[in-house]
Amino acid sequence: MKPGLGRQLQGRRILITGGGTGIGAATARACAAAGMQVMLSGRRLAPLEKVVSEIRTSGGEASMRVGDVVAPGASEQLIDAMGEDFGGIDAVFANAGYGIEKPVLDATPEEIRRIFDVNLVAAIDLMRATGLRLREENRPGHLLGCASILGKFTMPGYGLYSSTKAALTHVCRSMRCELYDDGIAVSSVHPVTTRTEFFEVAQKESGAGHGPVVKDGVPTHAPRIFVQSADVVARAVVKCLRRPRAEVWTSSVGRLSAGIFELVPPVYEAMLRSEMRRKRREAGSGR
């Protein structure tokens, strides 16, 4: 089956990393509701147990594995676990990741390596390992990587985060062409600001004097038109699993804005300079 054709989801098996909270958890529930067998992975046991319990209570099938996606051999171990629990794998959503808001000059080498390892290297490795397994078994499948609207443009303080997502977008595009004739679809997912614990984590990871000012789960500077729930992303992912497409956008306004910014770089960079001045004023006044 070619990647662009409609696919039945009932009984198909999906692995979701970062599945205990936010977009991962919402997508797990939505996939299970669509009849898929779902395995969640994450670093914390309690959130994973909660989502698995919710799915099973609703009559769905779910299992979980606790672990860090950057651990050696993590991808192969998760794929093997899919075989143990469900007899194989049909799709993967490489969703694990985090953000920091910090100027590049203020970031340490360790912070730079860590965010690239988690957001990019681990995601590529998981999609690569899943693609190899699907191709070895001569089966169609679907690889999805969670990018971001910031995979298309960036903002002051988000250079490291957005560069991981831009690179993941390019990898997905390349793999999509490489695997098309194998019947393996590849999609990048581009959420806008999503109301999850993501920004509280970003605030913590960014360290003292950096990070977003968060209220009700989103940065105070985020335009309301760009704010959505995790369920919006989850529905878009399930729709893409049914009928694969190259990019999953959860906001038409976000997609239009990204396109405009790419077409007129001088205007876009003038906006970024203005944003950087705002941040410096806020920092100087103690916010």
Spell out the alpha helix ranges (H) of the chain. Answer: 22-33, 45-57, 74-86, 109-116, 122-136, 159-179, 198-206, 230-242, 252-263, 265-284
Produce one character per residue of 53-65: b if its CB has 16 or more CB atoms within 10 Å, e if not: eebeeeebbbbbb
- Angle (CA) 279 269 207, round 5°: 35
The Cα–Cα gap between 143 and 155 comes to 28
Task: Please name the helix (run of DSSP H) or strand (run of DSSP E) that holds residue 106, with its range, or none.
Answer: none
CA 33 to each of CA 115, 243, 286: distance values in angstroms, whole numbers, following the listed order:
32, 17, 46
- The answer to whether residue 158 is catalytic is no
The three-state secondary structure class of 187 is strand
Q: Which of 98, 158, 161, 180 is catalytic?
A: 161
The Cα–Cα gap between 143 and 157 comes to 30
Task: Please name the helix (run of DSSP H) or strand (run of DSSP E) that holds residue 153, with its range, or none.
Answer: none
The Cα–Cα gap between 83 and 97 comes to 24
The Cα–Cα gap between 19 and 64 comes to 9
Task: Please name the helix (run of DSSP H) or strand (run of DSSP E) that holds residue 247, with its range, or none.
Answer: strand 247-249
Single-letter residue type at 10: Q
Residue numbers annotated as active site: 161
